[in-house]
Structure 1
């Protein structure tokens, strides 16, 4: 029953109040001629004023019926006593026409213009019937004209609000697009310009031995200094481009303020918990979710107040947008909601919509806290005998804020020495190096510092060597063809304590396992109480599929697949999926 009143609502209320007040005062002044007690007639007049108006706040149809029955009945009673009292219903005829809508005109017009004059003529035949019709026809036409004025105002207001929302939406799209383009340029410059400078510097370093004159060496030193200075300047520019981005709270607060200003609705913004670092993809997903939710709330839900809650939890980040709109009986997902859900699913999150008629709509976007968003820094030691490779890896991994390059080693002997002094979290180890190779260095490192994680990073797929290294303590085996972003994620996985093997190499390792120890499939599976679904997921893991891919293939959620994998590990008595696959292959549970 609560609504925002506009100027025409006040005009109609004032007109009705003046008309009803005048009628009550007139009835008091002529009370001697009334056939009913004065208090009944006055109460009737008060009811004729208030009841139809209260029903109008609920539905115009209720108003039309009560107006004709209560106020029209009072006017007919007074006209039977005082023939000139028929004019008191003219204001009601005006208001009935002004508040009619849709098909109600088909019966309100005949009732007001024809039936009520006939009733007035029946109770007071001294009135001219056709003159009375002309009076009520004119009042009804004026009311209809006032109704058209109201409709025009409402349509203009709706168009203005939609234009304001559209302008705000376009402004946000432009701002987000510029941010995405800036981020893309930052990555492209880092990967291309930085890589090119590193290649030039490393190339000039290799030419040092071929220069014999002092002048040539001086020129080479000058070029190297220029190259190093230039790459540092490029890194500074890239850092400025990346640091110009506001925090998530500031971005969403600005989005809410702009939407409130343009759409003329009240946006309440709340933050629960302490903000922590989020990936750019997560920030973009939450920003788009809030933008789409605000727009839908005003455009489709006709909301006037929205509450935005941003919640930072240890395991997830949650954004909720609650509006006071009309809600929906049956929710229909459009392009915007589907885009929001797709963004969230790409980050292992979800978008939920809760709506009910009269209770508004609540949109909730929940994103798990990704490993790269943790504040803990991963201390990384890069070991490779080629200076170009070392510098390239440092350049590529330097753009990830949680990966800190604490040292570079040119062979296994230097790697062992730096591990003792620097205590890195993860060692990115090459294999073929002079003096002491990666395999020997890995064995020494794992014997002296078992907590240091070693990730073998090599060029060739040698399954025998990979299996021996994993047995001697290596925590992972990757090829140098791995993309930078994937490499960074693999380093984080190794740092968390997992074991990781490159997909193609894992197949070769499993193919060479001794098949003689395999037991019959059915007996072994029954022995370990593995279900058909668990065996199916285990087979897909053995083929190198990730949990997300398995979930898509089997039409399950990622969480369900992880639960199945944990159950398999528990039944087989292993600690991770790699050990589970190797044991399942040895036992003949999978092929």
Structure 2
């Protein structure tokens, strides 16, 4: 019944022709039963079998249909022609249907068998029928069937093109919507980090001048300027709030379900969405990652997998938020990642998550996106030390973090030397480290802090995207690299992530680091790594795994958390196509990553 539901007009036409031919043949057989060599019920049974068996085979495979049609129906027509010479006309409809259902190289044998061989057999059993006369009849029937086949192919191609166009239109609509949202986010961050930050610095600077103003007039002017500054920054914040798109205020469940419903409407594919667990707040970047992952997975399922049904599952777990997209498409023998899939994986890795794809011919494709659950703000008070040579920046950060109840600034350092000195008595959880500072710069201070207090996390905050310095800092133990242009919410989420043991690099900075890494590949080891898209950190962890080290030992050696090491190792295993340490060691040995 599922097959019948998918039939279109040409399937019903062919079934109608076959039914009319079979019924007329049965009625004619009953009318002339006196001339039959076999009992009537046997002939009728053969006629029903010659009608039904080839048609059932056609629903399974067109090659099975061609064989059974020519053998069964052709054999029945030969028997009837031997008794009634005019019965050869019955096979004309069969010749038409054979040509209509032939494809690819099957024409090479169905055409000669239908047009030349069977007429020859008919002529042998009934010499009164002219051979070339029958060849002409069957040739015309076969040509008409071939023309009907071309009409079917054209209709199918047009249907496919229409479906693909609908998918592309929906995809472009989503791209436009997401691009607009991301552009709004960018403008919002730019205003927040330029105008808003400038106002905050001005207000803090004027507050520090209050004690130096001796006259009442000066104090009044200062109060007036402070009031103007506070009023202006409130106006900026109201503009930022108005600039945020309505999509950002929607829950993740509602956004994904709406995306699935829109795709189902435009692409005419069944999309079943389910959500499990209690939804908890996610960052803007995490929401956008899940939305892009679902969008790309739905589009790939229809465009490449020819799927007719897609199941989407969103699960809010204690440790991870998990999105699964399973389709019933044709699957692939070997998965090939395009630009969209690479972008999805990069988004997830920037949030310490992972995107995995499982596919097999005939079993469809499963896309899984895992992102770590954000830490609850009230779980623990995170102690912060801010190191920056600009007093306005230090005070501004302190003021901004006052709005985050789980972030507590316990100390301010004006250079790297003071930051190292304060780490001992204050024991902060996270140090926000500027780079360009007098006496001891941020890079040297980070190295000294990591040598004395490995448990203290260091998050680099800088204005410039210096990839050489970033690589050096990561080698010396820095736990994150973020530009000062980051929004407060992004900065706060990054601090919480780094405090939990994660490592995060600003997306624009990571692009440049990977480009520099790819451009500097010289050795066969790194060339082999590049072939499998392995990052420098994944190669380093593979090499340590090959030495027999445990994940906890590797984490301690690299100043990373155990979970972060496992994430890197799991990502490397997926890229290498292996499942465990032993297979990874052998594969890395074979391709030359380790020796």
Q: Establish whether TM, by shorter chain, passes 0.5.
A: yes
In the TM superposition, what whole-angstrom CA distance separates every residue of 1:27-86 from its partner, at most 9, and x where no partner exists?
Answer: 122211100011111110011001101111122111111101100111111111111211
Query: Does residue 61 of structure 1 match 2:47?
Result: no
What corresponds to 1:253 in structure 2? Answer: 257
1:13-162 matched pairs, under 5 angstroms: 13-162=15-164
Query: Contact between 1:90 and 1:136, CA under 8 Å: does it hold in 2?
Result: yes
Query: Which segments of 5 or more consecutive residues in structure 1 lack a partner in the other structure?
Result: 399-403, 407-423, 447-451, 499-547, 578-591
What corresponds to 1:302 in structure 2? Answer: 306
Query: Contact between 2:357 and 2:366, CA under 8 Å: does it hold in 1?
Result: yes
How far is the alpha carbon of 1:495 from its aligned partner? 5.9
How far is the alpha carbon of 1:14 from its aligned partner? 1.3
What corresponds to 1:551 in structure 2? Answer: 537
Q: Secondary structure at the match of 1:267?
A: strand
How far is the alpha carbon of 1:215 from its aligned partner? 5.0
What corresponds to 2:357 in structure 1? Answer: 353
When residues 295 and 496 of structure 1 are mapped into structure 2, their CA distance, relative to the original with a 3 A threshold, is closer
Q: Secondary structure at the match of 2:371?
A: strand
When residues 130 and 568 of structure 1 are mapped into structure 2, their CA distance, relative to the original with a 3 A threshold, is closer
Partners in 1 of 2:323 and 2:103 — Cα distance? 40
Query: Contact between 1:97 and 1:109, CA under 8 Å: does it hold in 2?
Result: yes
When residues 203 and 177 of structure 1 are mapped into structure 2, their CA distance, relative to the original with a 3 A threshold, is same
When residues 107 and 575 of structure 1 are mapped into structure 2, their CA distance, relative to the original with a 3 A threshold, is closer
Partners in 1 of 2:230 and 2:284 — Cα distance? 29
How far is the alpha carbon of 1:248 from its aligned partner? 1.9
Q: Secondary structure at the match of 1:276?
A: coil
In the TM superposition, what whole-angstrom CA distance separates every residue of 1:423-455 from its partner, at most 9, and x where no partner exists?
Answer: x7644312589xxx9999999989xxxxx9696
In the TM superposition, what whole-angstrom CA distance separates every residue of 1:336-387 from its partner, at most 9, and x where no partner exists?
Answer: 333333333333333322222222222222223244x767575778999998
In the TM superposition, what whole-angstrom CA distance separates every residue of 1:476-532 from its partner, at most 9, and x where no partner exists?
Answer: 78888685569746753786599xxxxxxxxxxxxxxxxxxxxxxxxxxxxxxxxxx
Query: Does residue 392 of structure 1 match 2:392?
Result: no
When residues 556 and 285 of structure 1 are mapped into structure 2, their CA distance, relative to the original with a 3 A threshold, is farther
Q: Secondary structure at the match of 1:73?
A: helix
Query: Contact between 1:270 and 1:309, CA under 8 Å: does it hold in 2?
Result: yes
1:432-511 matched pairs, under 5 angstroms: 461=440, 483-484=483-484, 488=492, 491-492=495-496
Query: Does residue 338 of structure 1 match 2:342?
Result: yes
Partners in 2 of 1:29 and 1:352 — Cα distance? 67
In the TM superposition, what whole-angstrom CA distance separates every residue of 1:225-254 from its partner, at most 9, and x where no partner exists?
Answer: 121011122223324445730322222212
When residues 85 and 394 of structure 1 are mapped into structure 2, their CA distance, relative to the original with a 3 A threshold, is same
Query: Contact between 1:303 and 1:323, CA under 8 Å: does it hold in 2?
Result: yes
How far is the alpha carbon of 1:129 from its aligned partner? 2.9
Query: Does residue 324 of structure 1 match 2:328?
Result: yes
Partners in 2 of 1:275 and 1:171 — Cα distance? 27
What corresponds to 2:411 in structure 1? Answer: 429
What corresponds to 1:190 in structure 2? Answer: 192
Q: Secondary structure at the match of 1:333?
A: coil
Query: Contact between 1:271 and 1:311, CA under 8 Å: does it hold in 2?
Result: yes
Structure ID, larger Rg: 1
How far is the alpha carbon of 1:327 from its aligned partner? 2.0
Query: Contact between 1:428 and 1:457, CA under 8 Å: does it hold in 2?
Result: no
How far is the alpha carbon of 1:156 from its aligned partner? 0.5
Pairing partner for 1:175 from 155, 177, 180: 177
Partners in 2 of 1:15 and 1:322 — Cα distance? 40
In the TM superposition, what whole-angstrom CA distance separates every residue of 1:91-117 from its partner, at most 9, and x where no partner exists?
Answer: 111111111112222222222222222
Query: Contact between 1:311 and 1:319, CA under 8 Å: does it hold in 2?
Result: yes
When residues 307 and 68 of structure 1 are mapped into structure 2, their CA distance, relative to the original with a 3 A threshold, is same
What corresponds to 1:233 in structure 2? Answer: 235
In the TM superposition, what whole-angstrom CA distance separates every residue of 1:526-554 from its partner, at most 9, and x where no partner exists?
Answer: xxxxxxxxxxxxxxxxxxxxxx9873351
Query: Which segments of 5 or more consecutive residues in structure 2 lack a partner in the other structure?
Result: 463-481, 503-533, 563-595
Partners in 1 of 2:231 and 2:199 — Cα distance? 10
Partners in 2 of 1:311 and 1:126 — Cα distance? 77
Query: Contact between 1:75 and 1:85, CA under 8 Å: does it hold in 2?
Result: yes
Which stretch has the larger CA shift, 557-566 or 38-47? 557-566
Query: Does residue 264 of structure 1 match 2:268?
Result: yes
Partners in 1 of 2:211 and 2:378 — Cα distance? 44
Query: Contact between 2:544 and 2:554, CA under 8 Å: does it hold in 1?
Result: no
What corresponds to 2:521 in structure 1? Answer: none
How far is the alpha carbon of 1:272 from its aligned partner? 1.6
Partners in 1 of 2:335 and 2:258 — Cα distance? 29
When residues 476 and 358 of structure 1 are mapped into structure 2, their CA distance, relative to the original with a 3 A threshold, is closer
Query: Contact between 2:385 and 2:413, CA under 8 Å: does it hold in 1?
Result: no
Query: Contact between 2:501 and 2:560, CA under 8 Å: does it hold in 1?
Result: no
How far is the alpha carbon of 1:193 from its aligned partner? 0.9
Partners in 1 of 2:15 and 2:88 — Cα distance? 21
Partners in 2 of 1:321 and 1:575 — Cα distance? 31
* Count of residues paired in the alignment: 495
How far is the alpha carbon of 1:319 from its aligned partner? 1.4
What corresponds to 2:369 in structure 1? Answer: 365
How far is the alpha carbon of 1:274 from its aligned partner? 1.7
State the superposition RMSD in angstroms.
4.3
Query: Does residue 291 of structure 1 match 2:295?
Result: yes
Partners in 2 of 1:107 and 1:497 — Cα distance? 68
Partners in 2 of 1:557 and 1:252 — Cα distance? 40
Which stretch has the larger CA shift, 374-383 or 224-233? 374-383
Query: Contact between 2:383 and 2:429, CA under 8 Å: does it hold in 1?
Result: no
What corresponds to 1:534 in structure 2? Answer: none
When residues 558 and 232 of structure 1 are mapped into structure 2, their CA distance, relative to the original with a 3 A threshold, is farther
Partners in 1 of 2:432 and 2:234 — Cα distance? 29
